[in-house]
Amino acid sequence: MSGAVGGQAAPGVAGRLAKVRRRIALACARAGRAPGEVTLVGIAKGQPLERVVEALTLGLDDLGESYAQELVRRREELHRLAAAPPAALDLAALRWHFVGHLQRNKVKLVVPGCVLIHSLDSLRLLQVLGRQVREAGVTQHVLLEVGTGEATKTGVQPDEVRSLARAVFAEEGLLLDGLMGMAPFDSAPEEARQTFAGLRRLRDALQQELGVALPHLSMGMSGDLEQAVEEGATLVRVGEALFGPRAR
């Protein structure tokens, strides 16, 4: 993306973005992967608009929100900025991700408009998503969010992933791309690694059983992205390490 926004840009975003990209590149090198195999999704939850804009002008193309109302508000803010003369921001390459728990009554706020929903976690949500994508005349890429222990309050249990995956394939308009998960909060690096390795093994087994490609693993955040990348993450969800502490 290119462009500039008037006023003083929030300090530090450029340095943090460069540091996060370097962390990803080094982790890829250790794992024998190309950095291009991993997409950085900037999580804008609670961040001031100017920090988000600065990251976009520095080339961040993937932006995620955790709440449906916040996604709508953020999208409207950016589009107003892009439309203001002189053109302040180019949004042509921007890809939106929804990464939080999605309530069924908020689905219309998210579909259409997101390149990927990371957090499909129930049959009831799947059915509502299916109805919405058919009404909107679109297809929607999704990931199944897998619960990874007592510390994670959302997500389908690992032993239920297979049945939910089959239900996605049976639902017209929904396309399953893989799995999402997170390590328990405050977990040690090796504990996080074990969580991510388990998610990768579950994805690999699911691919073999269903005979389909599931190319994406969304795992790793600010504190554990190295372990996630080394265990196969294709999408890392980074907030504070990229944008700084949340404003609210």
Q: Which domains does the chain have, with CATH numbers?
A: 13-243 (3.20.20.10)
Cα–Cα dist 216/143, whole Å: 8
Tell me: the pLDDT tens digits for 174-224? 999 999 999 988 889 999 999 999 999 999 999 999 999 999 999 999 999
Q: Residue 150 — very low, low, confident or very high, per pLDDT cuts 50/70/90?
A: low
Tell me: the pLDDT tens digits for 58-87? 999 999 999 999 999 999 999 999 998 776
Report which of 130, 76, 132, 74 is spatially closest to residue 100, judged by C-alpha positions.
74
pTM: 0.93
Phi, psi of 217, deg, nearest 5: -125, 110
Residue type, 46: G
Cα–Cα dist 224/159, whole Å: 25
